[in-house]
C-alpha cells in the first residue's frame, strides 16, 4: 500500500484542506476514490468538495491575504524558503505519492518534486525584488511613482500530468507576490496537492493562504472560481478547450487569466544535425512522462538526407525503453493516465496507418495489459493525419519528411498552437533564422529539455496567456499602480 512506502504517513491526506483545517466530509456528503493507474488499487477516499466549500475557502483566503500582503517580501521569502527545504527533505515521500496516483516512474516523480520545489526557492528569492519605478513628471510640480501590488485572491486549476510541479509553480509566485491561493487539483491526482498543503502549513504559512479542494465536479468549482468577485485571477493549466470555457466564464467580471494550454510541438532535425544528440533529445522530449506533457514533441520533422538514418536510430533506442510500474527498478515508461488517453493513442495510430504511415516499432498495447502502451515510432507521417493536428499525449513519435528550410517552417507553424518547439542543427545562421521564424513561446535548440524555473515558460496563439518561472513569472500576480504627486 501507499502508506507502507512513506517515511512520514501524515503526508497521505484523506481530507480536503480549507483555511488551515482538514475537511473530512463534503456538504453534499459525496466522496470519490483516487486510484493507482498502474494497478487500479484504491489509494484514498476523499470528500468530493463543491461550490459551498470553494466559497468558504475563498472567504478565508480573502481574510488572510490582507495581512500577508502587508508583510515584507523578506518575511514571505522566509516561509517560502522553509517550504522549499521541506519539499526537498520529503522528496522521497512526495515522489512515492506522485507515482502512486499518477503512474510515472519513481525517479521521474522525484525529479518533478525537485523541479516543483525549485519554483518555491526561486520565487521566494524574487519576493524581495518586486521593484517599482519612478518616472520623470510630465509637469514641473509632478512626481510619478510606480508601485506593484498583489492581485489578491487567486484560484488555480491544475492537471494530472504534473500533480506537484504544475501547482508549485503557480503557488510560489502567488505567495511571493502577496496573494492567497485556492486550488482545485485534477481529481485523478489530488494527493500530491494535499501533501503540499500539509508542508506549507508546516513551513509556517498562515491559515487560509493556501486551500486545496479535492473535487470531481470541476464544472461547479470552476464556475465559483469565475463568478465569485473575491477571485481576482484564475490560473489554469490544462486543455485548450477548458481554457476557452474558463475565459468565457470569466468575461463577466473581466477576470485576469493565466493559461497554460495545449501544444503541438514540432521537433525539427536538419541534415547537418548531430544525429545521436537529436535522437537523445527526441527520446527526452517525446517519451518523458510517457508522452504526457504539453511540451512533448508531437510532430518530428526530419530532413530527407538523414530521414532513414534518424528513423532507424530512434526506433532502436525506443525499442529499449523499459515499460513498467513506476515503482519497478529501471522502469522508464509507466501506464497512461486513463482509458480515454489509451483510446486516443490507438485512434491516432489507426488513423495514421490507414493513411499510409508505417509502424517502425511499438504500435500496440503492451503485453502487461491495463493502461500500458508500447513506445511507438511511425514513419511516413503526413499533414492529413490526426497526429499532425492534435496533441497525441502519449508515447507515439510520427516522423514527417521535409526537403527545405522554408517548407519545414511553414509546416511547423501550421497549427493553432504555439507552446514548445525544438530544432537540431549545427549551422548558427540557420539556427537563428528558424528559431526566430517559429511561432512558439519556447524553442529548444539542440536540446529536448527546456523546463527550468529560471526561464519564462508559456505559449503564444491558442497555447495560452502569461508566463511561469523567471523574473517575468511574478508579474502575472502583480498589479501596476502609479501615484501622481503634485509637490
Q: Pick from 31, 239, 312, 414 the residue near ligand ADP by CB under 6 A.
A: 239
User: Does 186 participate in binding ligand ADP (rule CB under 6 A)?
Assistant: yes
Rounded Cα–Cα distance for residues 41 and 392 (Å): 26
Q: Given the complex with ligand ADP, which of 79 and 186 has the nearer CB atom? A: 186
CA-closest candidate to residue 369, choices 100, 43, 40: 40
Concatenate the DSSP letters of all residues of 410-440 into one string: HHHH-SSEESEEEEE-S-HHHHHHHHHHS-S
Q: Pick from 97, 242, 273, 388 the residue near ligand ADP by CB under 6 A.
A: 242
Q: How far is the CB of 215 from ligand ADP (least distance, A)?
A: 8
Which of positions 134-173 make contact with ligand ADP (CB under 6 A)? 157-159
Q: Given the complex with ligand ADP, which of 88 and 245 has the nearer CB atom? A: 245
Rounded Cα–Cα distance for residues 359 and 412 (Å): 22
Q: How far is the CB of 160 from ligand ADP (least distance, A)?
A: 6
User: Does 247 participate in binding ligand ADP (rule CB under 6 A)?
Assistant: no
Q: Pick from 27, 69, 245, 431 the residue near ligand ADP by CB under 6 A.
A: 245
Residue 360, phi then psi, degrees to nearest 5: -90, -35
Please count the residues of this chain forming the interface with ligand ADP, following the rule CB under 6 A.
13
CA-closest candidate to residue 371, choices 408, 334, 321: 334
> Length of the chain in residues, anyone?
487
Q: Given the complex with ligand ADP, which of 138 and 340 has the nearer CB atom? A: 340
Stretch that binds ligand ADP, among 44-52, 123-131, 234-242, 440-448 (CB under 6 A): 234-242
Q: Report CA Rg, the chain.
A: 23
CA-closest candidate to residue 61, choices 154, 123, 138, 129: 154
Through-space distance between the first and last CA atoms of the chain, rounded to whole angstroms = 69
Dig out the grid coordinates for 271 from the structure.
541534415
| Residues 465 and 257 sit within 8 Å (Cβ to Cβ) | yes
Is residue 202 packed enough to be buried (19+ CB in 10 Å), middle (13-18) or exposed (0-12)? middle
Q: Given the complex with ligand ADP, which of 216 and 425 has the nearer CB atom? A: 216
What is the side-by-side strand order in the sheet with 256-260?
21-23, 16-18, 210-212, 180-184, 153-157, 231-237, 256-260, 464-465
Stretch that binds ligand ADP, among 80-88, 237-245, 424-432, 439-447 (CB under 6 A): 237-245
Residue facing ligand ADP at closest CB distance: 222
Q: Given the complex with ligand ADP, which of 214 and 444 has the nearer CB atom? A: 214
Q: How far is the CB of 393 from ligand ADP (least distance, A)?
A: 8
Which of positions 191-220 make contact with ligand ADP (CB under 6 A)? 218-219
Q: Pick from 116, 124, 150, 222 the residue near ligand ADP by CB under 6 A.
A: 222
Q: How far is the CB of 229 from ligand ADP (least distance, A)?
A: 18
| Catalytic residue flag (residue 260) | yes
Catalytic residues: 260
Query: Applying CB under 6 A, which residues contact ligand ADP?
Result: 157-159, 184, 186-187, 218-219, 222, 238-239, 242, 245
Amino acid at each position: 500500500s501507499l502508506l507502507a512506502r512513506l517515511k512520514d504517513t501524515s503526508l497521505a491526506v484523506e481530507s480536503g484542506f480549507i483555511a488551515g483545517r482538514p475537511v473530512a466530509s463534503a456538504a453534499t456528503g459525496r466522496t470519490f476514490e483516487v486510484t493507482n493507474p498502474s494497478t487500479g488499487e484504491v489509494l484514498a477516499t476523499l470528500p468530493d468538495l463543491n461550490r459551498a466549500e470553494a466559497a468558504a475557502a475563498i472567504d478565508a483566503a480573502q481574510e488572510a491575504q490582507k495581512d500577508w500582503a502587508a508583510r515584507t517580501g523578506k518575511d514571505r521569502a522566509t516561509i517560502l524558503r522553509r517550504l522549499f527545504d521541506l519539499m526537498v527533505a520529503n522528496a522521497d515521500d512526495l515522489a512515492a505519492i506522485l507515482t502512486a496516483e499518477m503512474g510515472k516512474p519513481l525517479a521521474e516523480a522525484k525529479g518533478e518534486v525537485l523541479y516543483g520545489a525549485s519554483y518555491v526557492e526561486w520565487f521566494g528569492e524574487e519576493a524581495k525584488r518586486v521593484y517599482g519605478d519612478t518616472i520623470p513628471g510630465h509637469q514641473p510640480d509632478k512626481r510619478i511613482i510606480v508601485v506593484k501590488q498583489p492581485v489578491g485572491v487567486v484560484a488555480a486549476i491544475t492537471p494530472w500530468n504534473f500533480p506537484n510541479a504544475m501547482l508549485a509553480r503557480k503557488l510560489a509566485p502567488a505567495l511571493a507576490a502577496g496573494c492567497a491561493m485556492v486550488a482545485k487539483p485534477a481529481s485523478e491526482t489530488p494527493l500530491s496537492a494535499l501533501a503540499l498543503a500539509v508542508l506549507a502549513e508546516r513551513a509556517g504559512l498562515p491559515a487560509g493562504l493556501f486551500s486545496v479542494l479535492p473535487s470531481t465536479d470541476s464544472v461547479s468549482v470552476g464556475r465559483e472560481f469565475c463568478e465569485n468577485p473575491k477571485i481576482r485571477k484564475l490560473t489554469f493549466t490544462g486543455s485548450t478547450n477548458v481554457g476557452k470555457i474558463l475565459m468565457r466564464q470569466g468575461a463577466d467580471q473581466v477576470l485576469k487569466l493565466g493559461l497554460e494550454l495545449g501544444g503541438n510541438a514540432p521537433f525539427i532535425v536538419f541534415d547537418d544535425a548531430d544525429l545521436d544528440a537529436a535522437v537523445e533529445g527526441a527520446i527526452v522530449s517525446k517519451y518523458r512522462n510517457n508522452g504526457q506533457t504539453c511540451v512533448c514533441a508531437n510532430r518530428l520533422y526530419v530532413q530527407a538526407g538523414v530521414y532513414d538514418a534518424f528513423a532507424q536510430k530512434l526506433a532502436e533506442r525506443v525499442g529499449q525503453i523499459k515499460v513498467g510500474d513506476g515503482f519497478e527498478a529501471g522502469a522508464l515508461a509507466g501506464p497512461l493516465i486513463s482509458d480515454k488517453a489509451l483510446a486516443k493513442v490507438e485512434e491516432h495510430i489507426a488513423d495514421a496507418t490507414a493513411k499510409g504511415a508505417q509502424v517502425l516499432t511499438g504500435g500496440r498495447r503492451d503485453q502487461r495489459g491495463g493502461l500500458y502502451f508500447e513506445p511507438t515510432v511511425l514513419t511516413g507521417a503526413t499533414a492529413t493525419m490526426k497526429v499532425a493536428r492534435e496533441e497525441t499525449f502519449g508515447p507515439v513519435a510520427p516522423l514527417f519528411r521535409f526537403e527545405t528550410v522554408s517548407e519545414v517552417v511553414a509546416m511547423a507553424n501550421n497549427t493553432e498552437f504555439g507552446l514548445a518547439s525544438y530544432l537540431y542543427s549545427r549551422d548558427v545562421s540557420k539556427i537563428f533564422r528558424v528559431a526566430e521564424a517559429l511561432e512558439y513561446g519556447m524553442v529548444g535548440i539542440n536540446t529536448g529539455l527546456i523546463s527550468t524555473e529560471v526561464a519564462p515558460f508559456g505559449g503564444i496563439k491558442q497555447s495560452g496567456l502569461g508566463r511561469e518561472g523567471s523574473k517575468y513569472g511574478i508579474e502575472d500576480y502583480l498589479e501596476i499602480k502609479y501615484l501622481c504627486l503634485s509637490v
